[in-house]
Structure 1
Amino acid sequence: MTNWTADYDEEPLRELTVTDLLRNRAEKIGDRTAVTYGPEDRAYSFSELNDVANAIANSLIEMGIEKQQKVSVMARNPLSSVLAMVGINKAGMVYSPINFEYKGEALSYQLNDTGPEVLIVEDQYVGRLNEVVDSLEDAPTVVVIDTGTESATLPSNLSGPTFDKLQSGDRSEPGVDVSWHDEASIVYTSGTTGMPKGVVLPYRWIFENYTLFRQQLLSDDDVVHTSLPMYHVGGVYFDLHTGWVSGASTVLWDRFSPNDFWDRIDRYEATTVTLVSVMATWLSKHGGRDTPNTLNKVHMQPLPDDYRTVAERFGFDFVTVGFGQTESGLPIAGAIHAAQGRDATPEDVRRGMTPNEIVDSVRDVGVPVLDEAPAERYMGEPIDPIVDVAIVDDHDEPVPAEAAGELVIRPKVAEITLKEYYGKPERTVEAFSNLWFHTGDTAYVDSEGNYCYLDRRGDIIRRRGENISSLQVQEITNKNSKVEKTAAYPVPAHEGGEDEVAISVEVVDGERLTESDLRAFLSGEMPEFMRPKYIQFVDDIPTTKTNKMEKYKLQQDFNDQLGE
C-alpha cells in the first residue's frame, strides 16, 4: 500500500496534519499555485497560503482561543472558508463549517449544538445571526468577513476583530503541537435518525482514508476543479485536500454552472472534477461541448446509468466511483476506464499521469479498475488495507451474496473513521454497535465481490446533494402555531436519482392555514434546499398503535398522485 504523499514529502500519511502538509508544501514547492478563486482569478501559492494560515492562527491564539476549541465558519465565498480553515487548523483548533443557507431554527440549532468560541461569518449573514442571537445558549465572539455587502449591525458585545485583521497577524509558525489523532473538524450531517449530528473528524480520517484512493490518480501536474461547498467533506477534503496532498492546484467556484462549465475547465486546464447528484445530467443537457478538453478523471457519485455515454462524449478517460460518507470516509472505491481509443483524452492536451500509470497506482491500494461497471449503482470494492466491510441483517449477521442489507464498516487502522457524534455519546455507541459502524445505507455485494448501492434507511431525504433530516423538517414546520402535526418524507425527483421533499400537515382544529402562508413561514426558518416541494394538508396523519407515524402510507398516496 502506498503510505506516503507526494515524492517530495517526508511525512507518512498516517501521521499527517494540515500543519505538516502546508509547512512542507511551502518549503518544497512554495512557488506553485495551491488554490485559485476562479471568479476573481485570485491565486495563492503554497508559500502565501501557509503565511496567511500562520497569520490567522496566531491571531486566534492572541484572542485567547485554545487548542481543540471550536471555530465555526459561515461563508458563501469558498476562498474565505479555505483561508479560515487552514488558519484554524494550524492553531490546533477545530474547523466547524456552517451551511451558508442556514437561517432561523436550522442556524440556531447548529450553533447551540457546536458551541463555538468564535464564529467567522460573512457580513451578508449578520442579519440572520441577529435574528437568532437571543436563542443562543452561549453566544460566540464574531469575526466578520467584509464582502462589501450592505448588512445589519452586529451587537457590540459579540463583535471581535475583522477577518482582515486576523490575516494581518504574525506570519511565523504558531508552534502548536498538532497530532494526527487531534480533531480537525466537526462537519454536520443528517444521518438516518434524529436531528443533524456533528461528525468529529481526526486528521487521519482525511489523509489515510477519505482522500487515499483519489491521491492515487493525481500528480502535481493536475488541476482540481470544484464547485462543491466548503461545509461538506466532498469540497473541502475530497477535492481540496486531495489536490494539496498530491501537489496539485485546486480552482474554487461558488456554484456549479453547466453553461459556464467548459469555459472554466479550459481557462485553468482542469484535469479532474467531482460530479454529484444531477450534475452529470445537467452537463449532458446543457454542456454543449464535444471537442477535446483536459478533463480526464471524473468522480461520479452516485454512478448514473448513462455514465459511459457521458464519458465517451466528453473524453473522460476514467470515471471513479465509491461509497462516500462523512462518518466513514471512502471505504469502498472503484475505477472504470470508460473512454479509450479515439474517445479518450487526446495526448496533446492530456495533463497528469498516463492511463497506464493510473491503473497501476490505483491497484496499489487494492482498488479494481474495470472497463465497465458490472451493475447499476456500482460502488467498487473495499479498500482492504484500511477497512473491513460487510452487508448485514438487522442482527448484524452477514447476508448471502446478492441479498440486500445494511452496509457496515470496521476500521483496521486507528482513527480513520469519525471519533464521535459531538455531544451525543448514545448516538455514537448506537452507531458502533457490535463493533461495526452502521452507515444507515442499504446495499448488496454480488458473487464477484462488487458492492452496489440500493437506498437509504430511516428518516433521511437526499436532495440536490444534501442529506436532509425529515425529523428536522417536521420539527421546524411544527413550530408554526397553526400546525398540529407534520410528516416529512421523500418522493422521487424527476432527475438525478434523488428525492424531493414532501410534507403532509395536520392543521390545529379551528385554525385556517393556506399553503402560501405555510411556505412563507418556512422560508424564514429553513434553507431553500430543505423546503418542501410538495405540501399536502390532511385531516389525519396515520399512526401505528404505538403512535408512530406511518409515513409509507402518505408516501404511497403521494406517489400514486404523481404517477410514480
Structure 2
Amino acid sequence: MSLRLPTIDQIGIRALLERNASECPDREFVTFEDGTSWTFSEALNQAFSAANVLRGMGVQQGQVVAILLGNGADFLRAWWGAAALGATTAMFNPTYQGEFLGNLVRKAEPVLVISESDAHVPVAAAIDVPSMHPFALRSGSAEPPKLERPIEVWDVHGILCTSGTTGGSKAVLQSYHHLHTTGSWATIDAGLSPDDTLLVDLPLFHAALNTFVVGCLATRSRLAVRTRPQLSRYWAVARETGATIAVGVSAMAVYLQGQPTVPEERDHRMRYWIGVPLPSDPTAFAQRFGISGGVLGAYGCTEIGVAVIARPGVAHPPGSCGRARPGFELRIVDENDVEVPAGQPGELVVRTELPWAISHGYLNDGEATAASWRNGWFHTGDALSVDEDGNYYFRDRIKDVIRRRGENISSFEIERIIAGHPAIEEAACIAVSSDLGIEDEIKVLIVRRDGADLDYLQLVEWLAAHVPYFMVPRFFEEVDSFPKTATGRIQKFLLRGEHTDRCWDREPYIAVTRDGVKRRTAVPSGR
C-alpha cells in the first residue's frame, strides 16, 4: 500500500495544540521538575501568549527565531510560540559561546535570539540581531495569532545547524513533514497513547528528542520534562514521572548496566527505551530493567532523520542497526554511486517515497545542496553495509565528524579555533576510542610555531573559553608536520591509525565540564 502525504492538521504543532485543547482541555499534558504542570488548554495558551509577544517584537511568519535555552517551560513556550506564529525556529545548545556560537547563529539568519544567558547578548549584538529574555514571552495575549497564510507541511519548521563535516557548519532546512517523519517511528508507529509518558531528560534542542515531543502531541501522550538525566537515580525518576518511554544516548546504557542490580530498577512503567546506539545486547538490557516492550534502535542523521530502525521482536544480528523503515529507499554505493554487492561497505544514499520527508537542502548553500543530493539521492557521508536479509551495519564515518557526549562535533570547527592560538601554526583533530568504547574522544595533533612556548594546561583553559566544554580535546600531540595532498589538504586517514600512548592526556590534570574548568594538579604540562 502506498503512503499518503499527511495534512498539516495531522502533524503541525499549532494544529495539534489546538486539537488537543479543544478535545481534552483539562487533561494534564506536561509536568516540570519544579512540580508545576500544563494541561492541554494551558499549553495552547502559553504558545499563543508567546506568539503574540514575538509578533509584537516584529517576528513575521516564515522568519527565523533562534532559541538558546535549556529544558523547561521557557523552552516549550518559545518553541511552540514561534510555531503558532508560523515562524521557523533555530535551536542551539545554550552552552555554546563566543565566535563558535556566533558563526552558527549567523548561518540561520534569525531576526531574534531568545536566551536567558547574559553571555549570549554580545553574540547576538555582534551579528546585529536583537535578543530577549524568555520571561517576556509570558506576558502576551492568549488570543489566537492571525496567520498571513495557512501553514503547510512543506513549510520550514526548523533550521538545524549541523556541526560541520568536511567543512564548516551547514544550516539544514527541516520541513514539518521532515519533523514528523523523524519522530513518528517511535511514537505514532510504536502505538503510543494518552496512557504513555515520554521522559524528556535529554536536551530539547536536539532533533533526537524534540521530534518525539511532536509525536506525543499527535498521540496525546504526556511529557515529563527534566533538565538533564539523573543517571544515579534513573529508574527512580522513571517511576516518579510515570515514564513509559525514554531515550538513551552515548554511554548511558553502559553506565546503567554497570550498576549493581537492585529491585528498584524494575519498579517502573517503562515499556520502550530508545537506545542511540543500541546496547550491546538489547534483549538482555530490556529483561534486566523490566522494559516490557523492549529496546528500540535506529540509524539516521540530521538531513534524513531516521532511515533504519530496529524493533523489539524482530531478529537483528549482533552489530546491526536495523532495517530500512517503510517509505525509505536505501542503497550502498561506491564513489561513482554504483551499488555495491551485499556485505561490502560503501556510502549509504537515501531517498523517500513521499516528498518533504527528509531535508530539502541547506540554507543559502546551493553548492553543498547539489553535492549532497546528487543523482536523485541524499548522500549521508556514512559507510554502511547491508546483508542479504536487509540488515544494515554502521561501519565508519566518511565525513570528518566526531561523536562525543551525544554531540556530532566538527573537527573542522575545532581546528579553526585552535589555529587561532598564537603558539600554534596548524592543527588536525581526529577521533580516538573512548575508555568505554562507545563514543569518541578528541585528539588534536599540533604543529607549534617556531620559537613559541606552549603550555597544555593553559591551552585547555584557552580552548574552554572559545568552544563548548564537550569540544575541548582530551589528547594532545605535537608533530613536526602533517602529510598532505598535492593541493595542501591534510591526509587525515594517515593520522587516524595513530595511538594515544605518545600523547599528553589532560584527564588526570584538568577537568572540563559544563560547570567550568578546574585544575586537578599543578604538574608541569609543557612538552
Q: Which residue of 1 aligns with 2:172?
A: 199
Pick aligned residue for 2:247 from 265, 274, 277: 274
What residue number does 1:60 align with?
54
CA contact (8 A) 1:56 1:84 kept: yes
1:106-158 Cα shifts (integer Å, max 9, x gaps): 11111221221111101xx213432x456x33x212111xxxxxxxxxxxxxx
Unaligned 5+ residue runs, structure 2?
504-527
Structure 1 residues 88 and 268, CA gap change in structure 2 (3 angstroms): same
Q: 1:496 to 1:242 in 2, by over 3 A?
A: farther
* Structure 1 segment 95-494 matched on structure 2, within 5 A: 95-122=89-116, 125-130=117-122, 132=123, 136-137=126-127, 139-144=128-133, 163-176=134-147, 177-217=150-190, 218-238=192-212, 240-286=213-259, 288-290=261-263, 291-317=266-292, 318-337=294-313, 370=314, 372-376=315-319, 378-384=320-326, 386-494=327-435
Taking the aligned partners of 1:402 and 1:553, their CA distance within structure 2 comes to: 25
* Rounded Cα–Cα distance in structure 2 between residues aligned with 1:220 and 1:321: 23
Alpha-carbon distance between aligned partners in 2 of 1:393 and 1:105, rounded to the nearest angstrom: 37
* Matched residue SS, 1:535: strand
| Amino acid paired to 2:35 | D
| Structure 1 residue identity aligned to 2:141 | D
Shift of 1:560: 6.1
CA pair 559-482 structure 1, distance change in 2 beyond 3 A: closer
For 2:79 and 2:218, the matched residues in 1 are separated by 16
SS at match of 2:380: strand
How far is 1:31 from its partner? 1.5
Change in Cα spacing, 1:520 to 1:542, as seen in structure 2 (3 Å) is same
| Amino acid aligned to 1:24 | R
Q: Deviations over 1:478-527 (max 9, x none)?
A: 11122100000100012252100110111111211111121121011000
TM-score when normalising by structure 1: 0.84
Please, which of 10, 13, 18 is the counterpart of residue 18 of structure 1?
Answer: 13
Q: Letter of the aligned partner of 1:219 in structure 2?
A: S
Which letter does structure 2 place at the counterpart of 1:502?
Answer: K
**Contact 1:4–1:13 (CA under 8 A) maintained in structure 2:** no
| 8 Å CA contact retained: 2:477, 2:502 | no
Q: Distance in 1 between matches of 2:496 and 2:386?
A: 28
Following superposition, the deviation at residue 168 of structure 1 comes to 1.8
Deviation at 1:433, TM superposition (A): 0.7
1:540-555 to 2 correspondences below 5 Å: 540-555=481-496
Letter in structure 2 aligned against 1:391: I
Size of the alignment, in residue pairs?
497
Displacement after TM superposition at 1:397 (Å): 1.0
Label 1:496 to 1:220 Cα distance change in 2 as closer, same or farther (>3 A): farther
Distance 1:549 1:64 in 2: 46
Query: Taking every aligned residue pair, what percent have the same amino acid on both sides?
Result: 29
Letter in 1 for 2:321: M
In the superposition, the TM-score normalised over structure 2's length comes to 0.90
Superposition deviation, residue 209 in structure 1: 4.5
In structure 2, C-alpha distance between the alignment counterparts of 1:196 and 1:524, rounded to whole Å: 20
Residues 169 and 2 of structure 1, relative CA distance in 2, 3 Å threshold: farther
Could you tell me how far apart the structure 2 residues matched to 1:536 and 1:96 are? 36
2:3 and 2:331 mapped to 1: Cα distance? 25
Match of 2:26 in 1: 31
Aligned-residue CA RMSD in angstroms? 2.1
Contact 1:486–1:503 (Cα < 8 Å) also in 2: yes
Rate the CA distance shift 1:222–1:289 in 2: closer, same or farther, 3 A. farther
Q: Which moved more, 1:450-459 or 1:393-402?
A: 450-459
Displacement of 1:424: 1.4
